[in-house]
Amino acid sequence: MANTIKIGKIEVEVNSTPSNYIPNGSKDFIDHGEILKTIALGIRDNLPVLLIGESGVGKSSAVRYLAEKTNNGLRRINLNGGTTADELVGRQLLNDHGTYWVDGVLTDAMRKGEWVVLDEINAALPEVLFVLQSIMDDDGYLVLNEKDDREIVKKHPNFRLFATCNPPEYAGTKEMNKSLLSRFPLCINAEFPTPAKELEIIKHHLGAAVSESELSIKLVGFANETRKSKEIGNADYAINTRDILNTLRLSNDTEPMEAFALAFANKLDVTDNKALMATARLHLPTTKKKAMATRKEVKQTNEITIGKNYILNGDMQGAYIGMSSDKKIIGEWKQLGLGDIIGNISKENAVKNDEFKVTATFYENATTGASEKEETALGDKVASMVEFTEGGNKGQTSIIIHHPAVGESAKIINNLYEIS
Ligand SMILES: Nc1ncnc2c1ncn2[C@@H]1O[C@H](COP(=O)(O)OP(=O)(O)OP(=O)(O)O)[C@@H](O)[C@H]1O
Ligand SMILES: [Mg+2]
């Protein structure tokens, strides 16, 4: 009885034949969008699988992971850049004794029962498409036309074929050949992972300390924004999981902005690079200390403490009372009672990822309003004066109301994290 593993509900056999090409050391694959399950189906039922998706969504790693788990040799062929049919099929070579035949990668894998991944299949030359179509029919086989005996090579029962390509609108890719496309009974549309899944992926690769850091959380959020922009045609690029992992790895040794430039932004043209770095400075932690900070959910108003740093997790309308860097105005706010604050000062919207330090606290029963330096035990804390330390409001001061009894803006307490 063959050894098997289960991917979701799908049971696939573990191969017992040795191969030099069995991957090892691949990280666990987080199955977002059921990619693994669909590939497993292709493996079990011997169906070629096409994975279409943006660069870095995990197409290659999903196949690699399953090859390792099932103990199958995995051969990769990139079809971009004029890969010729004889690289796949094989060729006659010449030595002192005459000519001799050498199998190509595809022929070799078909004989031995290894898996083949064809990357960038949409860029394949017509002669390569011809070869692929001939082997992809149910009873498909390969004729080694150039070989003296015109040998016919049949597919070993363990042979599996996978192909990957970027989505059709991707710059520089050709539309895929229709008759080849129709020979893939399974076509996976691999999407970017959700932020929660992406943090899980980071955790698997780099550990919890990194995945729970401010830099990870913000990079994932920022990457997500670039993906949305690209999708609606506002940008030509998107930060992918590979870029995030590379930035995080580099940030061990460099400041976060430098790591981001090295791992991603420097690949863009000068204009995009400059614009992206300017936006990144507003969205990502700028120092190593901030990058490695972790967040703790604030559950009660009384946890909000002078001198500590906080981050907001959502957009909220009218959550800030006033916004100023003018010492005189801020000084006046400190003298106000809460009624005056709520009633008389303009309201500003809060923006996700705003970061601030609490500089004073307002108490329900205080006669003078704020206590700038110390916290007294006068009733519940109702509001805090905050100074922004990161983001678009950096350097400005505002007031947040956070007592549950004080209407809509009090919701801020549900979206606030202490960072340390
Ligand atoms: N779901 C996932 N689980 C674990 N790691 C992942 C996952 N998705 C992506 N990664 C990691 O992200 C990186 C990029 O993934 P991968 O190379 O598989 O992308 P790809 O879709 O093949 O991209 P390309 O089109 O550029 O070849 C790898 O380091 C991979 O380990
Ligand atoms: Mg790949």
pLDDT tens column, 310-329:
999 888 888 898 999 999 99
Ion ligand 2: residue ranges with CB closer than 5 A: 59-60
Shortest CA distance to 397 belongs to which of 359, 345, 344, 371?
359
Which residue spans within 64-150 are E strands per DSSP? 74-78, 90-95, 98-103, 115-119, 141-143
Name the residue of 7, 34, 57 to mutate for ligand 1: max ligand atoms within 8 A of Cβ.
57
CA distance 52 to 167: 6
- Do residues 309 and 416 lie in contact, with contact meaning Cβ atoms separated by under 8 Å? no
Express as a percent the part of the chain with pLDDT over 90: 66
Going by alpha carbons, the residue nearest to atom 7 of ligand 1 is 58
Please name the residue ranges forming H helices in 264-393.
270-283, 288-291, 327-335, 338-344
How far is the centre of ligand 2, averaged over its atoms, from the C-alpha of 319 (Å)? 44
Q: What atom in ligand 1 is closest to the CA of residue 166? A: 25
Res 376: pLDDT: 62
Name the DSSP class of 174: P
Q: Does the structure show a pLDDT above 60 at 150? A: yes
* Average pLDDT value for residue range 190-212: 95
Span 127-131, average pLDDT? 92
Mutating to test ligand 1, I would choose from 200, 242, 248 the residue with most ligand atoms within 8 A of its C-beta, which is 242
Q: Atom 26 of ligand 1 has which residue's CA nearest to it?
A: 55
Nearest Cα to Cα of residue 346 among 307, 318, 369, 374: 318
**pLDDT higher than threshold 80 for residue 374:** no
Closest-lying ligand 1 atom to the alpha carbon of residue 61: 18
The per-type count for the chain, helices as H runs and strands as E runs, is 15, 20
Mutate to test the pocket of ligand 1, among 7, 26, 60, 197 (most ligand atoms within 8 A of CB): 60
For ligand 1, the distance from its centroid to the CA atom of residue 35, given in whole angstroms, is 12
Residue-level pLDDT at 296:
92
The residue contributing the CA closest to ligand 1 atom 18 is 58
pLDDT score for 377: 59
The mean-pLDDT minimum among 80-94, 96-110, 179-193, 380-394 falls in: 380-394
Average pLDDT, the chain: 89
Nearest residue (CA) to ligand 1, atom 4: 29
Residues with CB under 6 A from ligand 1: 27, 29-30, 32, 53, 55-61, 164, 166, 193, 201, 204, 241-242, 245
Ligand 2 centroid to 370 CA: how many Å? 57
Output 67 or 409, whichever has higher pLDDT.
Answer: 67
pLDDT of the residue at 179? 86
Distance separating alpha carbons of residues 290 and 307, to the nearest angstrom:
15
**Among all ligands shown, which has an atom nearest to the Cα of 166?**
1
Mean pLDDT of 38-43: 97
Closest residue by Cα to residue 63 from 80, 78, 75:
75
SS3 content of the chain, % helix, strand, coil (to 5): 35, 25, 40
The pLDDT value recorded for residue 336 is: 77
The Å distance, Cα 155 to ligand 2 centre, comes to 24
At 406 the pLDDT is 65
Name the closest ligand to CA 117. 2
Average pLDDT over every residue of 196-216: 95
Q: Quick one: which ligand is closest to 30's CA? A: 1
Q: At 412, phi and psi to the nearest 5? A: -55, -30
C-alpha span between 43 and 115 (Å, rounded):
10
Residue 77: left if φ>0, alpha if ψ -120 to 50, beta else—which one? beta
What is the distance in A from the centroid of ligand 1 to the CA of 268? Answer: 20
* pLDDT surpassing 90 at residue 153: yes
- pLDDT band at residue 171 using 50, 70 and 90 as cut-offs: low
* CA torsion angle 86 88 90 94 (round to 10): 60
Dmax over Cα atoms in the chain, in whole Å?
A: 104
Q: What length does the chain have?
A: 420
Specify the pTM. 0.84
- Ligand 2 centroid to residue 56 C-alpha, Å: 7
Q: Which range has the top average pLDDT, 130-134, 157-161, 232-236, 330-334? A: 157-161
**Ligand 2 center–CA 402 separation, angstroms:** 48
Q: Among 163, 158, 242, which Cα is nearest to 198's? A: 242
The yes-or-no verdict on residue 170 having pLDDT over 70 is: no
pLDDT value at 173 more than 80: no
What digits encode the pLDDT tens for the residues 48-107? 999 999 999 999 999 999 999 999 999 999 998 789 999 999 999 999 989 999 999 999
Smallest-distance ligand from the CA of 122:
1
